[in-house]
Chain A
Amino acid sequence: MLKGGIIRLLENKNILEIVLLAVVFATLLYEGSGFIGREISHSYPYGYLASDAFWHENVANYIKKEGSYKYHPPYMSAGYKDVVGFNPPLLYQLVASFSVLTGLEAYDAFYILIILLICFSAMAVYFVIKQFNSHVAMLSLPLFVFLFAKRFVIDVTWGQWIFISGGFFIIVFFWGMTKLELRHSYALLVIFIAALASAHQSEMVFAIGFIIIFIAIKSLSKKFDMSEIAPSHAPSFSSEKEGRFLSMLKNTLRPLGRGVFDIKQSKGIALAVIIALVLSSYPLLIFSAGWGKFSGIRPFSVELPSEWNGGRSVVPLTDFSKIVLIVIVIGMVFALLIKERVNVAVPAGFYMLLIGYGNYFGLSNRAFQTRFFWPVYLAVFFGLALYQLVKFVPKGYRQLSSLAITLILLFAFLNLFYEKQASPGLMDPYHWESLSWVRENTDKNAKVFYFYYDNYYQSALLWTSERLAFLVDRNDYIDGLQQGIIKRDYISTLTSSSDTRFIYKKGLFSFGYHQDEDNLETRKQRDICSFDYYIFDMLPQFSSIPELTKYNALIRDKFIEKDMEELFNNQVVSILKNNNPGADCIGG
């Protein structure tokens, strides 16, 4: 009876699919939750391993408080209050809204939403592949485990969050491309491309590039097909070599050309792109004057992996492990041999693989970011390779075989490649308490100076105090220590998001740049006595250079001697208030 029940269940493909996807979703969520201590709510930002994560959290928190992303937070903008919200706004809006709705802190809401976006990206790509072949889709599922494993997970822990929203929407865009035959489905394309334009513009460019390339391939393959039907239309080859090349091109393009979409649909797709761009015109206008101008795509430039964070965060294909990579490559070979209609999944997989190597043709770090999502983009090849094995199984047992292989590999990969994050990240309760104290007890325009502490050099962390934060230069500080003196002037950095030079609106379509107009130097020598508050780290064991923490203590004692007031001390961090900024604070 039980056996009969199981067979009936296996025959009901819908239920089987739902159960399987629920298992995969639960597995991915379980993996993701490991980076935040298997808790949703925390008393401080948990699992934040790099500055970028704090960068984004600060913007979302600002929107939650101020209500909109009209302006970039002034404490991230060197105090300028009119810097326009220059980062892609969509994810921030969603996080701020989700935070309001759930009552979670923005830093928790951000992490949960990022984990969910990754889980749903995996689920969505399953449906893209399913359109091609349901067995391949099922067999591709285990590869998703890598989304939270090896260096693929750096996009989560190091805060490449805006990219993740772009990755999610380009996957649903690919899904939309598989549904063009549905009535009014172009509305979905409009929604997804508009979302891409407000989520991460580089993925929008990749999506439009995908459309353009495949319209071109379609047109070419149509020409080739015509030449077969009517030899008189065949292009005349000037040489035998050229003829061989075109023949090879024809054989490669034809299967691709049969997939993706019908040439008749290209007009609708183009219209969808135009409507989406109009809908997103304002964030795109800011993008073109901001990120697009200062750190956009640089055609023909080469960026080596070692040039991005010293290469530590660049994912090579070998992070899949040798055996899994071999399976993926075999899948690619089979994909190239497909003669029938290939659907979106296969060309999209090759396309995103190529984009991942775009650092060699001008895409710089956008290429490296793309690699974080290779486990979803390349999943189709993994599934395709495994499917070649399943084909040997008698037809009646193929469903069961695919299911068994999927589940075995899913849990094997989880066991082999997934490692739970052991560290709570850059923040701890003591430093969070001190930064919160600054936020809650100082004037909004206060200038706060931070003396040495390792994690402060992931400087976006300091913006959680919501005040202008100046950070002592480590080398200059070491120089002071080596000389055995307390200097009046130290080199320090006004920590700020100066990537777009503090862009502000001058007119309806014109922008100015405070940094250029005011010749603002964020890093320079500053009078140490001119600040309102000073933050000292006091425990040498928290530091990689304990001598510098002892140097902190020397300066702190001198400041207290000179009538500065200690307003906060939790044994780890001490905060002094300068009642007379500008006056001598260190003595002869």
Chain B
Amino acid sequence: MEDRLKQIKNELIYLVISFVVMIVIFKIAFINEGIAIILGTVSSLYFMFIVPGFALLYYWNDKLSFIERFVLSLAVSGAIIGIASYYLGLAGLHIKYTIIPLPILITIIAVLINWKRNQK
């Protein structure tokens, strides 16, 4: 259990480092843009596309490297959020009310799945 906690702590540190690196890369690419917009864009990118997918892919952390999970997290988050928000929209829920809870919910579900796996 202690090992697992240490591993999760390391992953979180890597994620924070990747966030800082991403801001630097964005600033280089979008050299004419202000730092506030870059910070907002990268933060939203992480909130919506990286963190939920990364949390779900953690299920396979022993088989997939950190960077592989990081790259694929955009696909997993994008697919789930895109499909879910479409159906929620059809059901009458405005997109502005779903975009904050959805990534949080996916992340919570991912944490529960991983926690359950570790219990076994």
Question: Which residues from chain A sit less than 8 Å from chain B, CB to CB?
Answer: 14, 17-18, 21-22, 25-26, 29-30, 32-33, 37-41, 63-64, 66-70, 89-91, 93-94, 96-98, 100-104, 112, 116-117, 120, 123-124, 126-127, 168-169, 172, 175, 179, 182-185, 188, 191-192, 194-195, 198-199, 279-280, 282-283
Contacts and interface: CB of A to CB of B under 8 A. Distances in A.
A539 B7 CA distance: 65
Contact of B48 (A68, A101, A191): A101
A199 B76 CA distance: 13
B21 A91 contact: no
B40 A39 contact: no
29 contacts: A14-B65, A17-B65, A21-B71, A26-B29, A29-B29, A38-B30, A64-B95, A67-B94, A67-B97, A68-B94, A69-B86, A69-B89, A90-B83, A97-B48, A101-B48, A101-B99, A102-B40, A102-B44, A116-B49, A124-B75, A168-B75, A175-B72, A175-B75, A182-B60, A183-B60, A185-B60, A195-B75, A195-B79, A199-B82
Contacts of A127: 68, 71-72
Contact of A97 (B63, B66, B81, B83): B81
A580 B95 CA distance: 40
B59 interface: yes
Interface in B24-80: 25-26, 28-33, 37-38, 40-41, 44-45, 47-49, 59-60, 63-68, 71-72, 74-76, 78-80
B44 A98 contact: yes
A518 B27 CA distance: 53
B93 interface: yes
A94 B95 contact: no
A182 B69 CA distance: 14
A103 B40 contact: yes
A193 to B, nearest CB: 9
B118 to A, nearest CB: 14
Nearest to B99: A97
A66 B92 CA distance: 10
B116 interface: no
B71 A120 contact: yes
B90 interface: yes
Given A39-B33, A182-B60, A195-B75, 14 more contacts: A21-B67, A26-B29, A64-B95, A70-B90, A90-B78, A90-B79, A90-B86, A100-B96, A101-B44, A116-B49, A116-B74, A183-B60, A191-B79, A282-B90
Nearest to A173: B75
Given A93-B89, A94-B78, A100 B45 contact: no
Q: Which 3 A-B pairs have the closest CB atoms?
A: A68-B89, A67-B94, A195-B79
A22 B81 contact: no
Contacts of A93: 81-82, 85-86, 89, 95
Contacts of A182: 60, 63-64
A17 B70 CA distance: 13
Contacts of A101: 44, 47-48, 99-100
A39 B37 CA distance: 9
Given A101-B47, A185-B60, A188-B76, A22 B93 contact: no
Contacts of B95: 63-64, 67-68, 93, 96-97, 100
Nearest to A196: B79
A40 B89 contact: no
Nearest to A123: B71
Interface of B: 21, 25-26, 28-33, 37-38, 40-41, 44-45, 47-49, 59-60, 63-68, 71-72, 74-76, 78-83, 85-90, 92-100
B33 A38 contact: yes
B29 A38 contact: yes
Nearest to A194: B83
Contacts of A40: 30, 33, 37-38, 41
A37 to B, nearest CB: 6
Contact of A195 (B21, B25, B83, B87): B83
B28 A26 contact: yes
A279 B45 contact: no
Contacts of B67: 14, 17-18, 21
B62 to A, nearest CB: 10
Given A25-B25, A30-B29, A279 B83 contact: yes
B37 to A, nearest CB: 5
B107 to A, nearest CB: 15
B46 to A, nearest CB: 11
Contacts of B83: 90, 194-195, 198, 279-280
Nearest to A21: B67
A67 B96 CA distance: 7
Contact of B89 (A70, A100, A112, A124): A70
Contacts of B65: 14, 17
B82 A195 contact: yes
A97 B52 CA distance: 15
Contacts of A38: 29-33
Nearest to A125: B71
A67 B32 contact: no
A22 B21 contact: yes
Contacts of A14: 65-67
A94 B30 contact: no
B40 A94 contact: no
Contacts of A30: 28-29
Contacts of A68: 86, 88-90, 92-95
A168 B38 CA distance: 24
A94 B71 contact: no
Contacts of B92: 68
A93 B44 CA distance: 15
